[in-house]
Amino acid sequence: MNTTFQHRLGRLLLLGASLTATPALAQQTPANSQPPNFNKTNITPGEFQAYNTFDYRYEGLVGTPYLEKGWTRAKLTLADQRKLEGTPARYDVFRRVLVVQPYANKKDSVWLDASRMREFTLAPVVPGQPERHFVPFAEAPDADKRTAFVEELYRGASGYALLKLPRKVMVKANYQGAYAADRRFDELVDRTEYYLRRPDGSAVEVKLSQKSIAGAAPALSALGQSKRSVKTEQEAVELLRSADTAK
């Protein structure tokens, strides 16, 4: 046997060994199976389920969980009465936590919920606007909302206060099925609610209207006699302020 023939024989033996060492996973397909034919016009339901395993039309999340875009300076009073001032923060409405950056390293943040704070105030994002003051909504009529924070739009000497509850509701994607709305993304949608806190500590939901607010505060007789048109938050605040003054 010459040297050239031995060299060729050795290469063939090595090739044969590599083929027999191929993992068994490649041999699991039955010999009589056929590759999928996507040009068929008579695909059975079972075949369709096998081929239509993944749906890549989902486009992610639209909207933000935060009350405002970006960070703003905040003043905090913790549950143990300690105070922090000037720390960057933003309110996560969806999770009901104030996200705070207490350290110089901006990569670290702390989440504070209603059980860990008595109140917080956010500086205005736009210069010239008022500060926004928030307190835990402990008196909420619905137990599910008692872990949220409400903004105090007005608090008068009579004990009545106008509260604004910012909410974020998740509207899920809906693009599967024959009657789907072709909504290919989840969305966080604003759902703001207003409440009137009474002197006895209870709170009742109201609308921004003279009739609704007057009905929730029968002790303020001037509210029912007022002819003010109320359509905005500021107009509701002015209505309550005038009734407090008249009383």
Distance between CA atoms of 98 and 119, rounded to whole angstroms?
A: 10
Q: How many CA atoms lie within 13 A of 40 on its CB side?
A: 12
pTM: 0.70
b/e sequence 195-224, b meaning 16+ C-beta within 10 Å: bbbbeeeebeebebebebbbebbeebebbe
Distances (CA, A) of 211 to 36, 51, 62, 84, 198: 68, 60, 36, 40, 16
- Could you read off the pLDDT tens digit of each residue along the chain, which spans 247 residues? 554 444 444 454 444 444 444 444 444 444 554 554 444 444 444 443 444 444 455 556 677 899 998 899 999 999 999 999 999 999 999 999 999 987 766 678 899 999 999 999 999 888 888 999 999 999 999 999 999 999 999 998 888 999 999 999 887 766 555 555 556 667 788 999 999 999 999 999 999 999 999 899 887 877 777 778 899 999 999 999 988 877 5
**Is there a contact between 117 and 76 (Cβ–Cβ < 8 Å)?**
yes
pLDDT at 13: 42
Distances (CA, A) of 204 to 96, 133, 137, 212: 21, 20, 12, 10
**Nearest 10 degrees: CA dihedral of 165, 186, 63, 150?**
10
Q: What are the residues whose beta carbons fall under 8 Å from the beta carbon of 97, sequence distance 6 or more?
A: 91, 111, 112, 113
pLDDT at 127: 83
Distance between CA atoms of 157 and 152, rounded to whole angstroms?
A: 14
pLDDT at 163: 98
How far out from the chain centre does Cα 91 lie? 11
**Identity of the amino acid at 172:** K
- For tokens 């039309």, the residue is 57
**3-state DSSP assignment of residue 16:** helix
**Nearest 10 degrees: CA dihedral of 24, 28, 30, 31?**
-30
Q: Residue 111 CB: number of other CB atoms within 10 A?
A: 12
